[in-house]
Amino acid sequence: MNLHRSAAFLRTYHLLPHRLLNQACAQLMTAKTPAFAVQAAIRWWIRSADIDMSDFASVPYQTIEAFFLRELKAGARPIAEGIVCPVDGEVFATGAIAADSRLSVKGQVLSLSRLVNGHGHAASLTEYEGGCYVAIFLSPRGYHHIHVPVAAELVRSQWIPGRYFPQNAVALQHIPSVYERNERAALFWQTSQEQGAQPFITVLVGASMVGGIELEELPQSAWQTAHGTEYSRWYEKGQRFAHFRFGSTVVVLFPKGMVERLRVKVGDAVLMGQPLADPSAR
């Protein structure tokens, strides 16, 4: 029985020691011995999730975490025109950002302000009203690194501490406000002047068990601060900027006027680099 899909178990998940579970799972994921058990677990994962390994580099994996963070073969995820998907996964939600700044994900109505700011911060989100959002749940069978959907400068990050609830579709039916309660990182971006100097936000939502959010080339001690961290780091479209140490969700928020139309819908299986949205003509 998969406990993360059991309604009775999920309704009591708040009683569990999330951080202790994460620490124990992290030790298991990074263990190299016994090697036969590690390899057996990886083979079981490939079979049970029906993973197509032809997309991934053929290298030995010494730990379950190394397998989880497996690299793609060259050319396995071509970068399309327009605004592209930042991750592999399933589209859990799309929609317009209403004047009251509410988002709807699998029947949960979320506050945009609490999603991005938590309870102690106050980044203005006025320009996002009339824009749109996409929430993508990373597939257990896919590629688990996160890439920039359009060329942009990372200007700020805001770490929001929290719990580590599961985020599969069943969990979202039984655990309220998961995206507002879990640990997350809100990353604020700005496109170039040639692209209209438009902002957008990616919110990385940590999940149950390991739950770790990692920004490329940025140690957690540098950005997991109460008051946020300022940057001036340029990323080309499709460049990798983060990963999860286990499964999770990415929410992308676009301001009014940046997107002409979304190219995905709820329930779609998506791959990193495929079209996510058509940019507005300027």
Q: Identify the active-site residue in 18, 144, 147, 243.
A: 147
Give the CA count within 13 Å in the CB-facing half-sphere of 198: 21
147 catalytic, yes or no? yes
Measure CA 277 to chain center.
17
DSSP 223-239: H--TT-EEEEEEE-TT-
Residue 251 CB: number of other CB atoms within 10 A? 24
Q: 281 Cβ partners below 8 Å, 6+ apart?
A: 260
Catalytic residue among 139, 157, 208, 248, which? 248
Q: Say how far apart CA 89 and CA 79 lie, in whole Å.
A: 16
Query: Is 88 among the residues known to form the active site?
Result: yes
* Catalytic residue selected from 88, 139, 208, 243: 88
Q: Is 4 a catalytic residue?
A: no
Q: Give the DSSP letter of residue 280.
A: P
Q: Which residues are catalytic?
A: 88, 147, 248
